[in-house]
Amino acid sequence: MKLNKRFFTLVVSILMVIAVPFIIYGFNLNSAIFDKDLYKQEFLKYNVYNNLEGYDVEDINDDVLDYLQFEKNNKLIQNDFFNEREKTHLLDVKNLINKILAIFYFSIILFFILLILLILLLNFNFKIIFKKILIILSIGSFLTLLDAGLFFLLSNFDFVFVFDIFHKTFFSAGTFTFNPEFENIVVLYPENLFFNFLVKIISNTILSSIIILFLSLLVIFIFFRQNFLKFFQKFPTRK
């Protein structure tokens, strides 16, 4: 019985660690892609207002963001600014974002369900539970930091390659290439805008991971400094 409890504690702890990167990435992605002020900065930087003179750029962008965030049916966006191909692509983008956010919300729910199981497995020993949570956050944020750091280096080394691989992975061939001569979507959202958004998401993810990692280790050191090294050796199978 004791062996089974230790095994389940290990499994629960590992699953909580795995959930942490999804939560950190999901939070920062959600914060960036629906940040209307960030779009205004990018539109100014890439001269979108002048390139689309005669259009209310911010109103169109607000309509797109509302569509991506709140439209729950597989309907095309009702906006004459885009043609049918562009509307279909926005539908594909909306469905992809919904899947990503579903994983994000599922990870949050899963984390708290696992936390409840961890509390039960450790017999409401809140000192031990507190230790486990801190080390789970430490490991999870460290893994996120490593992953985001590598992704940041790759994106800066060859963003076009990353951008192309991303689209080929998640969208059907021929549905994500547009001609700026007669298709507005690439004028409203130039490629460099997506690079800056990617940098923003990864940078915020790295910063979030560093903060969580630092605070977790700091609290561990402050409250458990007498057996700081032993604590890491014992996690997560032994008290």
- Looking at residue 73, its pLDDT comes to 86
Name every residue whose Cβ is closer than 8 Å to that of residue 88 and which is 6 or more positions away in sequence.
76, 175
Distance (Å) of CA 55 to CA 44, 49, 82? 14, 8, 12
pLDDT tens by residue, 2-41: 668 889 999 999 999 999 999 999 999 999 999 999 999 9
- Looking at residue 62, its pLDDT comes to 97
Residue 67 placed within a domain? no
Residue 69 placed within a domain? no
Model confidence band, residue 51 (pLDDT cutoffs 50, 70, 90) = very high
Axis-axis angle for helices 57-70, 84-121 (nearest 10): 50
Number of domains in the chain: 1
Rounded to a whole number, what is the largest CA-CA distance in the chain? 72
For tokens 């936390």, the residue is 115
Residue 156 placed within a domain? yes
Distance (Å) of CA 174 to CA 11, 44, 89, 183, 192? 43, 29, 10, 14, 20
Residue 60 placed within a domain? no
Examine the pLDDT at 231 and tell me if it is beyond 60: no
Q: What is the mean pLDDT of residues 36-48?
A: 95
Residue-averaged pLDDT of the chain: 90
Examine the pLDDT at 228 and tell me if it is beyond 60: no
pLDDT tens by residue, 157-198: 788 888 888 888 888 888 888 998 889 999 999 989 999 999
Q: What is the mean pLDDT of residues 137-141?
A: 97
Q: What's the start-to-end Cα distance of the chain, in Å?
A: 16
Residue 58 placed within a domain? no
Neighbours of 69 (CB within 10 A): 14
The domain containing residue 115 runs over which residues?
Answer: 2-52+104-234
Residue 37 placed within a domain? yes
Q: What is the mean pLDDT of residues 220-229?
A: 70
The proportion of the chain whose per-residue pLDDT surpasses 70, expressed as a percent, equals 92
pLDDT tens by residue, 72-131: 888 999 999 999 999 999 999 999 999 999 999 999 999 999 999 999 999 899 888 998
pLDDT tens by residue, 57-76: 999 999 999 999 998 888 99
- Looking at residue 11, its pLDDT comes to 94
